[in-house]
Amino acid sequence: MTPSIQPEILGHFGPYGGRFVPEALIGALDELEAAHISAIADPTFQAELRELQLTYTGRPSIITEAKRFAEFAGGARILLKREDLNHTGSHKINNVLGQALLTKRMGKKRIIAETGAGQHGVAAATAAALFGLECVVYMGEEDTRRQALNVARMKLLGAQVVAVKAGSRTLKDAINEAMRDWVTNVESTHYLLGTVAGPHPFPTMVRDFHKIIGEEARDQVLELTGRLPDAVLACIGGGSNAIGIFHAFIPDTEVKLIGLEAGGDGVETGRHAATLTGGTVGVLHGTRSYVLQDENGQTIESHSISAGLDYPGVGPEHAFLLDSGRAQYRAITDDEAMNAFATLCKTEGIIPAIESAHALAGAMIIGKEMGPNSILLVNLSGRGDKDVQTAADYFKIDLA
Amino acid sequence: MTTSLENLMRKTRKENRAALIAYLPAGFPSQKGSRKALEVLAHAGVDAIEIGFPYSDPVMDGPIIQAAAEISLKSGTGAKDVFDTLNFVHELGLACVVMTYWNPIEKYGPQKFASEIARRGGSGVITPDLTIEESLGWSAATDAAQINRIYVVAPSTTDERLKAVVERCSGFVYAASLMGVTGGRTSVSSQAKDLVERIRSISQLPVAVGLGVSSRIQAREIAGYADGVIVGSAFIKVLLEAQNEEVGLAQLRELAEELVAGVREGR
C-alpha cells in the first residue's frame, strides 16, 4: 500500500504522532504550525530558503558512486548521497536553516536545541550565528565527553552549551531539559528540535525541510543510471536523514526503503538503540511511536557507539512506514558499523560519520542479497571528523 | 456517583476555605518512608493527596521532583506500588488521586488503569501531558470507572481552548500558576489569579492552583481566590535535604501544619 504522505489533522500518521505535551506548550505549537503552513505557501520564504541552500549549505549535494566499496557490497552499484559535504558536515543544516527562518518569521529572538553527537547542536549554533539569534544547546554530560570537539565548535559559534546531568546524561535527557526550558521561556524562545520526532508539527515540519535530499537524489540517480534505485538506505536514530531521503520515493513502490538502526551490542543483548526492531509502541517526548521501555512504561536507556543514534525513541512517520510495510528496518551492530566505517575510509577516501556507517553496513549486507545488477542509494548523512577519537579508540590506533 | 474528591471540595466550599492538596511520588523517600510521610501529612490536616507515578522523563518537573522520581525508580517503584500507596491513603480517610505522565497509563492500558484507580479507592487521575485531542480513549475509560479526570491548564491557554479543556475536567481544574516547571518560587505569579478568574467565568468546577507554592504566605494568598492549593516540591525538598528520615518527617509535619493554617487564613 502507499501510505498517505501528509499526516491527518492533529499530526497523526495512522495511530502514531500527535501531541502529548503540557497545555502550556499548545499555543507555541499552534503558532509554529501556522508559521510553517504559511511559509510553505509564501514564495518569499521559499526563495530565501533556496538562496541559503545554494549559497550557504552548498546544495545540491552530489552523488558519488562508490566503485571500490561496491566490491564489499556484493558488487551492487552503490551511490552515495553526499550530505556529509554540506556546510557543518551533515544533513542537519537543512532543517536548521528552515526553522531559523521560521523563528525570524515568528519574531522570536532565542533558540534552544538538543544534541546527541553534536551535529544538530553545531548546525543550530551556526544558524543562530548567521541570523543573530541567542542560542542555548542542551547536551547530555556523557555526550559532551564523547563529542568534545563539537562542544568546542558550538562555543566558537557563540552558543551556550549546557551539560545535562539528569538521568542517563544522553540525548533523551537533553531533550527533557530543552522542553523544560521551552515551557518556561516559550514567549521569547523557539525550540529548534533536530529530528522528526516530538509533538506535532515537528515530525512533519522537520521532514519537509529534509525532503530535498530525496528529491535531489531521485533526479540524480535517474540521470546517472537511467532508472530508479532498487533500494534507498539510511541510518535511523530519530530518523530525520532517513525520512529526508525516503520521502520522494514513497510513491515509487518498486523502490525498497530500508532504515538501519543502531543495534549496539546486538538487539538480543538489550544493549542497543534499535527502537523499531526491538521496541514497543508508547509515548515519549510528546509523540506516540515505538519506544524502548519497560513494563511500567519507563524509558530504557539506549546504547550505541554512535552518539547520534543513541536515542530510545524514533519519529512517528517511521513507525507508520514500518506498520504499513512501505519501509523495512534492520539493526546494525556497533562492530558491523565500524567495519563499514573502516571499509569506506580505505576504499573511497571518505571518512563517514559513525551514524552513516550504519547505512553503509546495511549496503554491504543488502548489496550481497540483491546482487551485482542492483542499484543502492545510500544516504551518507554526515562526515566523520567528529568521530576520529572514537574510531581511534575502537581500532586501537596509536596516536603517539 | 460522587468521588471522595468531589465530596471534599463540596465540604471545603461550605467551610468557606480552600483545600490543601499535597503531592508525593510513590516510593519516596523509600517504600516504607512513603507511608510514614503520608501519615504525617494526614495527621497534620492535609485534605487530599496526589500520588505521583515516578517517570523516567518528567519534562514538567524541576530538579526536586526529578530527584525524588529517580530515587523512587531506583528502588523499583512500579504501577503496583502506585496503586498500593493510593489504597493506603484511601484507608487513612483522605481523598486521593494519582498524578502521572501519560506513557505509564498507555503501557498499563487506560481502561485497566482507570478501573484499578476506582477499585483501590482513588478519586481520579491528573494527566499533565495528555492533550484533549489525544484523550478520547481516556475519557471513555474514566467515565466507565466513574473517576475524575483532571487536566492542567496554563496561563498561556487561550479562552477557546480553556473552555474545551475545562469541559472535559471533573473533580477540579488544575491551574498552573505560571509558565514553567514544578519547584518552589518565592512569590506567586499574578498570572495565577487571572487564570483562576478566567476559569470561574466559564465553569462551576473547583479550581486548584499548583506550581511554585512553598510557604504559608503563598498558601494564604492563593486560598483567597482558589478552591485548592497544591504543594509538592516544598514537601519533597524537606525530605530530600533532611539528615535522616526521622528529622525529615518532623520537618514535614511542621511545614504541613504551616500550610494547613495558611489555607484557612485566606478568606
ipTM attached to this prediction = 0.96
Q: What is the pLDDT of residue B186?
A: 84
Record: contact B133-A291, CB cut-off 8 A? no
Amino acid identity, position A46: Q
> Crossing angle for the helix pair B63-74 and B233-241, nearest 10 degrees?
60
φ, ψ for residue A34, nearest 5 deg: -65, -40
Chain B nearest CA to A232, separation (Å): 33
Which residues of B fall below an 8 Å CB-CB distance to A?
55-63, 66, 70, 73, 78-79, 102-108, 128-131, 133-134, 151-158, 161, 165, 176, 179-181
Q: What is the mean pLDDT of each run of 10 residues along chain A (400 residues)?
A: 51 96 95 96 97 98 98 98 97 98 97 94 98 97 87 97 90 95 94 97 98 98 98 98 98 98 98 98 98 97 93 97 98 98 98 98 98 97 93 90
Residue B111: partners with Cβ closer than 8 Å, 6 or more residues away: B137, B140, B141, B144, B145
Active site residue B47: no
Q: What is the pLDDT of residue A7?
A: 55
Which helix (H) or strand (E) segment holds residue B245: the answer is helix B245-264
Active site residue B129: no
Residue A2 near residue A253 (C-beta atoms within 8 A) = yes
pLDDT digits (tens, 9 = 90+) for B212-258: 999 999 999 999 999 999 999 999 999 999 999 999 999 999 999 99
Residue among B67, B44, B20 at smallest CA distance from B250:
B44
Record: contact A22-B152, CB cut-off 8 A? yes
Q: What is the pLDDT of residue A122?
A: 97
Provide the annotated active-site residues of A: 92, 114, 381
Closest-CA residue of B relative to A11 is B133
- Quick check: A308 contacting B, CB < 8 Å? no
Q: What is the pLDDT of residue A5?
A: 47
**Residues β-bridged to residue A283:** A288
Residue A64 near residue A80 (C-beta atoms within 8 A) = yes
Record: contact B156-A24, CB cut-off 8 A? yes
Residue B231 near residue B18 (C-beta atoms within 8 A) = no
Stretches where chain B sits below pLDDT 70 are: none
φ, ψ for residue A263, nearest 5 deg: -85, -5
- Tell me the three state secondary structure of residue A394: helix
Report d(CA B24, CA B239) in Å as an integer: 10
φ, ψ for residue B163, nearest 5 deg: -60, -45
- Quick check: A223 contacting B, CB < 8 Å? no
All 3 cell numbers of residue A60? 545540491
pLDDT digits (tens, 9 = 90+) for B16-35: 999 999 999 999 999 999 99
Record: contact B102-A283, CB cut-off 8 A? yes
Report d(CA A46, CA A52) in Å as an integer: 10
Report d(CA A229, CA B69) in Å as an integer: 49
Residue B191 near residue B211 (C-beta atoms within 8 A) = no
Residue A266: partners with Cβ closer than 8 Å, 6 or more residues away: A272, A331, A333
Q: What is the pLDDT of residue A1?
A: 39
Record: contact B107-A187, CB cut-off 8 A? no
Q: What is the pLDDT of residue A2?
A: 41
Q: DSSP string covering A315-333, please?
A: -HHHHHHHHHTSEEEEEEE
φ, ψ for residue A135, nearest 5 deg: -135, 125
Residue A291 near residue A281 (C-beta atoms within 8 A) = yes
Record: contact B73-A295, CB cut-off 8 A? no
Q: What is the pLDDT of residue A145?
A: 85
Contacts of B129 in chain A (CB under 8 A): 20-22, 286
Report H helices in chain A.
26-40, 43-52, 67-70, 92-105, 119-131, 141-146, 148-156, 171-185, 202-210, 212-225, 240-246, 275-278, 316-324, 334-348, 354-370, 388-394
Q: What is the pLDDT of residue B58?
A: 95
How far from A380 is each of A63, A197, A221, A235, CA to CA, in Å?
Answer: 10, 21, 15, 9
Fold of the domain spanning B4-262: TIM Barrel (3.20.20)
